[in-house]
Chain A
Amino acid sequence: DAGITQSPRYKITETGRQVTLMCHQTWSHSYMFWYRQDLGHGLRLIYYSAAADITDKGEVPDGYVVSRSKTENFPLTLESATRSQTSVYFCASSVSPTYEQYFGPGTRLTVT
């Protein structure tokens, strides 16, 4: 089906572990984004990508790594998870960075 998917939908991991959140879109949108949603903060941008092999930091990039070898995939890696990274993570894509973005269903990550 066309759209944007995220996996896993739920993840529990331990402090210090590496974890990768996957994002896949079928629209061939150039732009892709990773956000985290936390109470009192709304949606904050972690990283974004303008095209394959082009990525840049957002508002809260520390502790995260991204890659984009293919247009349709944009994985987010927490290299050494911390409790402060417990959050809901949303991936989004768009044809332009400043117009409508289309969001995936989210991944709820708990770091214990």
Chain B
Amino acid sequence: DQQVKQNSPSLSVQEGRISILNCDYTNSMFDYFLWYKKYPAEGPTFLISISSIKDKNEDGRFTVFLNKSAKHLSLHIVPSQPGDSAVYFCAASALGANNLFFGTGTRLTVIP
């Protein structure tokens, strides 16, 4: 039973435009959310996170939005660059848990 879902396996965006990656979760106990970026033949690298006490967190071109009532988070990349082309995983955790729960990933392609 997938507790974290990324329903879009792939997304293509023109360079300079906004990329929006979406993630839904089912467990209301989740209180911390993360986004990871993965290039081919490399391990995932941490990108940005957000606590459930916030609804937005920004880091440069990357912004994560959290809608707790809808159990939905999104990652916005503005402006998108070709180097952003990668697979993006969202992940979630609950206080007291021993691990992160990952989504299935969305492959972002930024077209020059």
Contacts and interface: CB of A to CB of B under 8 A. Distances in A.
Interface of A: 4, 33, 35, 40-45, 48, 50, 56, 58, 90, 92, 97-106
A100 to B, nearest CB: 5
Contact of A103 (B32, B43, B103): B43
Contacts of B13: none
A56 B98 contact: yes
B45, B95, B104 — most chain A CB neighbours (10 Å): B104
A66 to B, nearest CB: 14
B102 A43 contact: yes
B102 A48 contact: no
Interface of B: 6, 32, 34, 36, 41-46, 49, 89, 93-95, 97-100, 102-105
Nearest to B95: A98
B104 A48 contact: no
Contact of A98 (B36, B43, B100, B103): B100
A97 B98 contact: yes
A96 to B, nearest CB: 9
Nearest to A44: B102
Contacts of A98: 32, 93-95, 97-100
Contact of B98 (A41, A42, A43, A50): A50
A103 B100 CA distance: 13
A107 B15 CA distance: 32
Contact of A43 (B89, B93, B94): B89
A106 B94 contact: no
25 contacts: A4-B43, A41-B104, A42-B6, A42-B103, A42-B104, A42-B105, A43-B44, A43-B89, A43-B102, A48-B99, A90-B43, A90-B44, A92-B43, A97-B97, A97-B100, A98-B94, A98-B100, A99-B49, A99-B93, A100-B46, A100-B49, A102-B46, A103-B45, A105-B43, A106-B43
